């Protein structure tokens, strides 16, 4: 392979974040992935994984669910990766009980591998996850734009404000409206990047620029945070 071809291959190599606390399992999985043409970043726990994600762009994360005693588990890490980085991930675990599976499925992983698994099963799961993530549907919500109904991509929403029997959807460019309640929209946006900050406000966590114990800022808007919902914003202090 000539120099240009070699550099092209490196540039187009898919990067995988491998989060596994067991050294032998991590080494084996890394070997399998490298042999199949992937670039691998390693992390032993959630803290290391999040530090890596601050500096690196990844195509996929492979998360062991059990990351050791007294450590954040892979499922909560998966939810953080989804909310903060919108990166696809798959789970690897020795657990197959219904409680763990239900918790994992609720975070919408691209696959779920139970140990022990065949090498080919891991590579197949990785390939499918990367391909499917490139086709990921952008969630939208129907809202009123004047007299017309339009589909608003939820990623464009900065925050949602209750206004009597209506909700106001604040974006960078304009405000949309729909007849609904905070409770109903909270249920509809469950599992996405939105949290309730106040009885009358839901905020997009990814749009928060500043915060105090009683307010958050999104752009120039200052949004109140009530004591009942302060824990919803606590993630931002990590």
Return the percent helix, strand and coil in the chain, to nearest 5: 40, 30, 30
**202, 189 in Cβ contact below 8 A?**
yes
Query: Is 85 found in the same domain as 49?
Result: yes
Do 60 and 155 fall within a single domain? no
Asked if residue 191 lies in contact with residue 198, where contact means CB atoms within 8 angstroms, the answer is no
Please say which residue of 87, 109, 133 terminates a domain.
133
How much is the average pLDDT of 97-110? Answer: 85
Percent of the chain at pLDDT exceeding 70: 89
Instruction: Give the number of domains in the chain.
Output: 2
Together in a domain, 81 and 165? no
For residues 10 and 103, membership in a common domain is answered with: yes
Distance CA 232, CA 195 (A): 6
My answer on whether 36 and 129 are in the same domain is: yes
Q: What percent of the chain has pLDDT over 90?
A: 49
One domain for residues 164 and 76: no
In this structure, the answer to whether residues 122 and 153 fall within a common structural domain is: no
pLDDT at 186: 85
User: Residue 119 and residue 105: Cα distance in Å, rounded?
Assistant: 23
Q: Quick one: pLDDT at residue 2?
A: 45
Confidence (pTM): 0.56
Last residue of a domain, one of 118, 133, 148: 133
Verify that 111 and 168 share a domain, yes or no.
no
120 and 217 belong to one structural domain? no
Number of helical H runs and strand E runs in the chain: 8, 15
Query: Position of tokens 């549907």?
Result: 137
Summarised one tens digit per residue, pLDDT across range 141-195 is 888 888 888 888 888 999 999 999 999 999 999 999 999 999 888 887 766 688 8
Encode pLDDT of 6-49 as tens digits: 443 444 689 999 999 999 999 999 999 999 999 999 999 999 99
CA distances to 50, 122, 130, 172, 220 from 15, in Å = 15, 15, 10, 32, 36
pLDDT digits 0-9 by tens, 199-218: 999 999 889 988 888 999 99
The Cα 195–Cα 198 span in angstroms is: 9
Same domain flag for 123 and 39:
yes
Rounded-to-integer distance, Cα 175 and Cα 189, Å? 18
Do 170 and 206 lie in one domain? The reply is yes
CATH of the domain at 49: 3.40.50.2300
Collapsed DSSP state (helix, strand, coil) of residue 186: helix
pLDDT at residue 117 tops 80: yes
Segments forming the whole domain that contains residue 42: 3-133
The domain that contains 221 carries what CATH number? 2.40.50.1020
Q: Phi and psi at residue 106, in whole multiples of 5°?
A: -65, -20
End-to-end Cα spacing for the chain: 45
Q: What's the CA angle centered on 74, arms 211 and 114, to 5 degrees?
A: 160
* 3-state SS track over 198-210: ECCEEEEHHHCCE
Q: Which residue has the higher pLDDT, 22 or 95?
A: 22
Question: Is 156 found in the same domain as 123?
Answer: no
**Where a domain ends, among 133, 166, 185?**
133
pLDDT band at 51 (very low <50, low <70, confident <90, very high): very high
């Amino acid at each position: 392979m000539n120099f240009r071809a070699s550099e092209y291959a490196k540039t187009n190599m898919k990067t995988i974040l491998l989060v596994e606390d067991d050294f032998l399992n991590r080494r084996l999985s890394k070997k399998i992935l490298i042999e199949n043409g992937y670039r691998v970043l390693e992390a032993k726990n959630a803290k290391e994984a999040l530090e890596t994600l601050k500096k690196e762009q990844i195509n996929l994360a492979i998360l062991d669910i059990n990351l050791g005693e007294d450590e954040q588990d892979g499922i909560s890490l998966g939810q953080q990766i989804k909310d903060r980085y919108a990166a696809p991930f798959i789970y690897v675990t020795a657990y197959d009980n219904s409680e763990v599976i239900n918790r994992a499925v609720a975070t919408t992983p691209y696959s779920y591998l139970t140990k022990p698994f065949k090498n080919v099963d891991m590579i197949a799961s990785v390939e499918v996850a990367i391909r499917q993530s490139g086709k990921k549907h952008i969630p939208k919500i129907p809202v009123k734009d004047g007299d017309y109904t339009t589909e608003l991509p939820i990623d464009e929403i900065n925050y949602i404000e209750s206004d009597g029997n209506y909700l106001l959807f604040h974006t960078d460019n304009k405000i949309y409206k729909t007849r609904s309640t905070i409770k109903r929209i909270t249920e509809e946006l469950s599992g996405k990047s939105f949290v309730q900050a106040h009885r009358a406000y839901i905020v997009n966590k990814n749009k928060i620029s500043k915060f105090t114990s009683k307010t958050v800022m999104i752009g120039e808007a200052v949004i109140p945070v009530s004591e009942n919902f302060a824990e919803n914003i606590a993630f931002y202090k990590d």
